[in-house]
Structure 1
Amino acid sequence: MYPQAYIQYLLHFHGDRDYFECHEVLEEYWKEKPRGQRDAYLVGFIQIAVSLYHYRRNNMEGAKRMMQSALRILSEQLHIVHTLGLDTTQLIELLTKTLHRMETNKPYTDINLPLIADDLKQLCNMECAKLGFIWGQPSDATNVYLINKHTLRDRTDVIAERSKQIQKRRR
């Protein structure tokens, strides 16, 4: 019923708070469709994760810009967002409050997306347990890799794929 990439997004979002990984799994799924046919609501969810990644690192400008964009996109896609087991009213309120915290330079705090679908909650809790995560656990602010993943991760695959795409375009 729910795309596997969305489930993985939720597990990282609420389980290990790896917002970088949230971005990665949904972006990969989003790119499976050809340009012009991609789902805008996925970009909104990707931007929530990117916003929180920046927020946790005290990059307030990047955090605010991403959250504003996520709010705009998701507000326009509420009919689809609802089918993902979320309370859309609570979601928009939560994101708006989080944006306000950013705008007023309040310290980062974790958020939990307002899931209302019981089957989704049960599935996520089971999958979190398998991964050794606790649903809704707070971010590990001492985990340098989690906080700075964009600079510390192995980029070999990314660089190889970019090189491949450049060669493809040149032909």
Structure 2
Amino acid sequence: MPFSEAYVSFLIHFHGDRDYFECHEVLEDHWKNYGMARDSIWVGLIQIAVSFYHYRRGNIKGSLKLIDKAIHLLSYKEIEVCTLGIDYEELIKELNISKARMHHKMPYKPIILPIYDQSLLAFCKEKCANRGNAWGILVDEAPDSIVHKHILRKRSKVISKRQYALVQ
């Protein structure tokens, strides 16, 4: 399969357990490990995940800021989005619908990224099922350990990473 393990993991978390924080972690590591540009397609996907993380937690200001950034970045990444097996027009439409919901302070509602690559979709659905998650359920019943992950996780690893980055 021509898609990276990190991307597949992102899709499984985004559509399966709805662990948006983990989506962010997986792609951020991928993006950093390959020294990609700040306007990389991966950054746009990270911004989508973090926007939905904030939206679900009720941080409308944060969710709007990030979805705006994602839409702007992706506005000139149509070819790259399509090479990831995602329907570009449908993605932008879904993001704008979500943005309007956020703007009007409507309750959080997850989305399904419009994957047109049927082999990628089948592979992700199978992996998702193997983890015990249903793919693309639009009723999000994520536990607090996922909804509030950044607050509940152990901070020692994050702090040591930041300190290491400062001396580099």
* TM class by smaller structure: over 0.9
Structure 1 residue ranges without an equivalent (≥5): none
Among all aligned residue pairs of Structure 1 and Structure 2, give the percentage whose two residues are the same amino acid. 43
Q: Distance in 1 between matches of 2:164 and 2:110?
A: 38
Match of 1:121 in 2: 121
Match of 1:10 in 2: 11
Cα RMSD, aligned residues only = 1.4
**Partner amino acid, structure 2, of 1:89:** E
Q: Pairwise mapping of residues 1-171 of structure 1 onto structure 2 (< 5 A)?
A: 1-34=2-35, 37=37, 40-137=40-137, 138-141=139-142, 143-166=143-166, 168-169=167-168
Aligned-residue offset at 1:165: 2.5
The worse-fitting range, judged by mean Cα deviation, of 114-123 and 154-163 is: 154-163
Query: For 1:31, what is the secondary structure of its paired residue?
Result: helix
Q: Distance in 2 between matches of 1:16 and 1:39?
A: 27
Structure 1 residues 123, 44: closer, same or farther in 2, change over 3 A?
same
Q: Do the aligned residues in 2 keep the contact of 1:31 with 1:38 (CA within 8 Å)?
A: no
Count of aligned positions: 166
Q: Distance in 2 between matches of 1:109 and 1:38?
A: 28
**Partner amino acid, structure 1, of 2:62:** G
Q: Do the aligned residues in 2 keep the contact of 1:87 with 1:114 (CA within 8 Å)?
A: yes
* Deviations, residues 145-170 of structure 1 (Å, cap 9, x unaligned): 1111111011222222222233x33x
Aligned-residue offset at 1:112: 0.4
The worse-fitting range, judged by mean Cα deviation, of 154-163 and 52-61 is: 154-163
**Partner amino acid, structure 1, of 2:68:** Q
Aligned-residue offset at 1:84: 0.5
Aligned-residue offset at 1:39: 5.7
Aligned-residue offset at 1:34: 2.8
After the TM superposition, list the runs of 4 or more consecutive aligned residues in structure 1 that deviate by more than 3 angstroms. Answer: none
Q: Do the aligned residues in 2 keep the contact of 1:30 with 1:39 (CA within 8 Å)?
A: no
The structure with the largest alpha-carbon Rg is: 1
The worse-fitting range, judged by mean Cα deviation, of 82-91 and 38-47 is: 38-47
**Partner amino acid, structure 2, of 1:81:** V
Q: Distance in 2 between matches of 1:117 and 1:154?
A: 37
Q: Distance in 1 between matches of 2:3 and 2:74?
A: 17
